[in-house]
Each structure stands twice: as C-alpha cells, then as structure tokens.
Amino acid sequence: MIPAESLVTRDGHQTRVPASDLVVGDIIQVNLGNKVPADFRIISCSGDLKFDRSVLTGESEPISATTENTDPNFMESRNIGMQGTHVVSGNGIGVVIQTGDSTVFGRIAKLSAGGGGGLTTLQKEILRFVIIIAAIALTIAVLVVVLWAAWLRKSYPGYLSTTQLLINAISVLVAVIPEGLPVSVTLSLTVIAKAMGKSKVLCKSLTTVETLGAVNVLCSDKTGTLTQNKMYVQNAANLDNEYSTSQARTAMIKDDAAREVLQQLHFVAGLCNAAQFDATTLMLPVSERKINGDATDTAILRFAEELGPVMDLTANWKKVFDLPFNSKNKYMV
C-alpha cells in the first residue's frame, strides 16, 4: 500500500529513494497522482493540493490541504498528509513525522494482523474441565501407587506385581479422561450451526457458533461488500408522520399541513448533496438514471428528484459555501 519510491531532498539535492528507507525528518515532495509514502507535516503546498483519505476515514470528497494546523485531532488536521492516501490535485512539500508501523495506516495494519489467536469462552471452559479431570486422574493413579507401596506390598506380598501395578495405574488414567468430549462438543456445535443455517446465518467456523450464541444484539454495517452497493430511500418521517416516497410526493400537493415540512426536506435532500445526475440519462425515469456520487448521496438525490425536479432547486439557489461530509462532523453543510 506504499509507493516503491519517493522524491526526497537530502543534503540540498533532490533524489529518489525507496519509500521503505524514509526516516523521520526527511523532506519529501508529493505531486498529483502520487501515493503518500509516510505521515508528513506540510510545510509548503500549492493552493489546490487535495488528498483522498477515503482509505482511512471513508470520506468520499477529497480534503484540501494547508500549511496551518486546523484541528487538534491528528486525523482531522489539514496540514497532515497520511501514508496510503492519494494526492488528487496540486503538489506539496513536507517533513516526515512518522514512518512504517508508526504511521496511522501502519498502526491499523498492525492491529488487523495482530488480532485473533485467543481462546473462545467455550474453549476456555473445556480446557478448564480437562485440566480438572486430568488432575483427578493423576491424583488417583498416584494414590494407587502409594497404597501399593505402603500397604499392599507389605501386607500381601505377591498379590500385585510391579507390572500389574503399572497396568492398573494406566487403566485408571485412561478410564477417567473423557475421550468422547471432543466428539460430543463438535456434534453439538454442528447441530446448532445447521439450525442457524436454516435461519440464513452462515458460520465460517464452528467456534463462531458458540460466540453467536452469547450475542444479544448484532450490529452490521452495510458496506456493499456482498451487495450491489446501491441504496434507496424507503420512507421519510416528520415526528410521528411517516411517508413512503409516493406518499410524500402526494402530501406535498394535497396536504397543506405537511407541505412546508416536506418542502424543507426536499430542499435539504436536493441541495445538500454531493451527487449529480449523469446528463446523458436525464430523459430516463428517475429509477433508471445514472448518478455520479457515493451510495448514500445517490439514494437521497433520487428521493429528492421523486419529490420534485432537483434542477429547479439548483437554478433558484446559489451555493456560497460548502462543507463536505467528514468522519468528525458526520454531516454536510
């Protein structure tokens, strides 16, 4: 995820060095199309320098860069370029402040690679049970040997030979240890996994069956990984009043009480939106038009068009300022 080489100023001369050889304090230069090789603080840049931080923050819009500190949060300050992000416009010069695993991207990668390996609750309980049973078996076997040595051998000589003693001790060990435990646990988990499969819950491994069995609420983020990454607005609500798209469109025409609120919703959905209709598909029905933008903005723009022509809104309103959606604010202005 890092570029092979980076343009660095060392000893007053610009040279290309492998990105893996960068050290803190190096002066690097980034240009349009480059992938940032390390976390760096911008000391000089063109007015149009922008970074695509979607790989780290999920922000769909490029972030403008500046030489001034704009936020105490390292992730939000615009005078910081972060490893793994792309330069979508402009150019800049900065001083490297973090490299390798110390970068934001590196720490995330390290956490992702270092996870797992621990025992599940069920595995811990089985291990505890097995240790207790094994301790009991060893205690009984040792007790048999002690009784034979201290009492049986002296009181009844020849009754039990040393070979027979060893066989009896091993028999005790084998008899106490539950050999059928792994089979029983596997079969029970398999039965549960089959029952969950009927409810369309697919478990990657049997150990996750036990984990899911202890879950009260399962939260899932719809990212489009297993879908087409297409979203649609199903309904809109104003306090206790809920409308489908068609009901909202009808209410704007016939319901005087709801008209003003729905018009405000129409304005916000159509104007505070980073998506745009593809000009070549404007003649098609709204549901079939191609929209340039992320899935969320696309869904809201399509909903706004269902309520009324968005083109009329953009013609009547003038944009004087734009604050794109970002991971800190979680809203757009």
Give catalytic residue positions.
221
> Could you tell me which residues come within 8 angstroms of residue 165 by beta carbon, excluding any fewer than 6 positions away?
144, 145, 148
Using CA atoms, how far apart are residues 192 and 5, in angstroms rounded to an integer? 52
Identify the helix (H) or strand (E) that includes residue 64.
strand 63-64
Closest CA to 53 of 78, 25, 31, 70: 78
Look-up: residue for tokens 């595995």?
Answer: 123
112: left (phi over 0), alpha (psi -120 to 50) or beta: alpha
| H or E stretch covering 235 | strand 235-238
Tell me how far the alpha carbon of residue 111 is from its chain's centroid. 12
Identify the three-state secondary structure at position 317: coil
* Total Cβ atoms within 10 A of residue 262: 22
Q: How far apart are alpha carbons 95 and 52 in whole angstroms?
A: 19
The Cα 333–Cα 324 span in angstroms is: 7
